[in-house]
Amino acid sequence: IYSEEMVDDLIRQLSQADLVVGYNHEHFDYGVLQRYTMWNMIDITNNLDLCKDIEQRGGVRVKLDSVAAASIGSSKTAVGTQALKWWAEYVQTGNTELLMDIARYCCFDVKVTRDVHWYGAEHGFIRYDDKKGGQVELPVDWKL
């Protein structure tokens, strides 16, 4: 967990990593971090964005929760919009417990993303729920 005061350390660690694995992190997370650096986050990092890879392979944008539920039998603890609501409430009230709610949500999101990546790396495919009530099995090449 990085506070805003530690964002330079986070950017440095990401830029030095062999591989940054995330789910929609190139769009969302790097979009948040971009205001803290003059460097383009995608240019200074080596990335595997699972969401982007799934979309390129399967031609459909899939939520992490759908992939996690169908592949590893787990799901997220909340949705991103809930974290935004917690943040807005924190700004209004100063209630630091809301920051802990956000931190717990983000940490569990990272765990789910890691587990989905490991599943795909081990099995060579992931599954996700389609909009017709079935499941799609999609080959992936995420070897570790």
CATH number, domain 4-139: 3.30.420.10
Per-residue pLDDT of the chain (144 residues; tens, 9 = 90+): 898 899 999 999 999 999 999 999 999 999 999 999 999 999 999 999 999 999 999 999 999 999 999 999 987 666 677 888 998 999 999 999 999 998 998 899 999 999 999 999 999 999 999 888 899 999 999 987
Q: Look up the pTM and report it.
A: 0.89
Residue 107 sits at the vertex; the CA angle it makes with 10 and 45, to the nearest 5 degrees, is: 35
CB-based contacts of 91, cutoff 8 Å, min separation 6: none
